[in-house]
């Protein structure tokens, strides 16, 4: 049988003499095994020329899984498996970066969030505690910096009862909500800042709103926010581009 396979390969490669060609054609019409193996060999060779890489991959699956091939031609087709596997790699590289996508699969939404999310640092000046509200706010910022978000949030909420239009506090309370997994309240805080349209924290609010959508796996809305950030040439533009790339947008 191994000799028959070699005979087939030589015929396909044009290495037979004229009398051998005639003999092969005669066998092809009378020998069922040779006919089947010839069809298989031709299918393999033709698949190398196909533009659609999936055709090649299906052929490879056939080679590995077809019991007839495994049982009858272990030595010759073992070598062919290696050869066509190598050819498939070359075709995949040429077919537009499919190998890169396999080697570096898109990150899950949660992984993207973990990669890019960090709480916003305190950038406002701590005022001295001349009033009760000032003392509450100072204490809130101290807890926020120490990542005691539950305590910080309770204090921010108390301050917002009298200073609801303070957009800095809305931002820090929104991030605290996000840290405490109170996502709807976090979204409301960021939306309040964005809808105000006249404050210094709109860019930050949009970034963290996008992060909030990522955290809750609302990928479509997250992508819309990050595209808006890019369009507006925001401070967060470059990192928003990276986020969309990781989300395979």
> DSSP states of 88-146 as a string?
HHHHHHHTTSHHHHHHSPPPPHHHHHHHH--PPPP-S-----SSHHHHHHHHHHHHHHT
Are 63 and 135 found together in one domain? Answer: no
Please report the pLDDT score of residue 32 as a whole number: 72
Domain-terminating residue out of 102, 136, 154: 102
Are 133 and 238 found together in one domain? Answer: yes
Angle between helices 109-116 and 237-246 in degrees, nearest 10? 150
Are 115 and 229 found together in one domain? Answer: yes
Are 241 and 197 found together in one domain? Answer: yes
The tens-digit pLDDT sequence of the chain (249 residues) is 556 777 777 777 788 787 788 777 777 778 777 777 777 776 665 554 444 445 444 544 544 454 444 444 444 444 444 444 444 444 444 445 444 443 344 568 889 999 999 999 988 765 555 688 889 999 999 999 999 999 999 999 999 999 999 999 999 999 999 999 999 999 999 999 999 989 999 999 999 999 999 999 999 999 999 999 999 999 999 999 999 999 987
Please report the pLDDT score of residue 71 as a whole number: 42
Q: Tell me the residue ranges of DSSP E strands in the chain.
A: none
Are 16 and 136 found together in one domain? Answer: no
Are 192 and 124 found together in one domain? Answer: yes
Please report the pLDDT score of residue 16 as a whole number: 79
Domain that holds residue 12: 2-102
Are 162 and 213 found together in one domain? Answer: yes
Are 131 and 242 found together in one domain? Answer: yes
Total domain count for the chain? Answer: 2
Please report the pLDDT score of residue 173 as a whole number: 97
Are 70 and 168 found together in one domain? Answer: no
Are 136 and 235 found together in one domain? Answer: yes
Are 87 and 37 found together in one domain? Answer: yes
Domain-terminating residue out of 102, 137, 167: 102
Domain-terminating residue out of 51, 70, 102: 102
Please report the pLDDT score of residue 162 as a whole number: 92
Q: Which two tokens stand for residue 167?
A: 């957009």
Are 82 and 161 found together in one domain? Answer: no
């Amino acid at each position: 049988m191994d000799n028959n396979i070699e005979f087939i390969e030589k015929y396909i490669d044009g290495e037979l003499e004229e009398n051998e060609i005639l003999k092969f054609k005669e066998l092809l019409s009378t020998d069922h095994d040779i006919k089947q193996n010839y069809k298989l060999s031709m299918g393999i060779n033709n698949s190398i020329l196909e533009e659609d890489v999936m055709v090649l991959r299906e052929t490879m699956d056939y080679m590995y899984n077809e019991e007839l091939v495994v049982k009858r031609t272990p030595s010759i087709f073992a070598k062919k498996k290696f050869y066509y596997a190598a050819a498939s790699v070359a075709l995949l590289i040429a077919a537009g970066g499919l190998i890169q996508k396999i080697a570096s699969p898109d990150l899950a939404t949660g992984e993207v969030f973990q990669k890019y999310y960090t709480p916003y640092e305190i950038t406002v000046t701590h005022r001295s505690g001349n009033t009760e509200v000032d003392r509450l706010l100072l204490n809130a910022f101290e807890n926020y910096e120490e990542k005691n978000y539950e305590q910080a949030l309770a204090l921010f909420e108390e301050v917002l009862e009298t200073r609801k239009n303070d957009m800095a506090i809305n931002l820090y309370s929104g991030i605290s909500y996000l840290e405490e997994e109170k996502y709807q309240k976090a979204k409301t805080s960021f939306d309040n800042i964005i809808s105000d349209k006249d404050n210094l924290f709109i860019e930050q609010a949009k970034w963290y709103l996008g992060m909030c959508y990522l955290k809750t796996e609302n990928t479509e809305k997250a992508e819309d926010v990050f595209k808006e950030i890019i369009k507006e040439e925001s401070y967060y533009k470059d990192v928003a581009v990276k986020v969309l790339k990781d989300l395979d947008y």
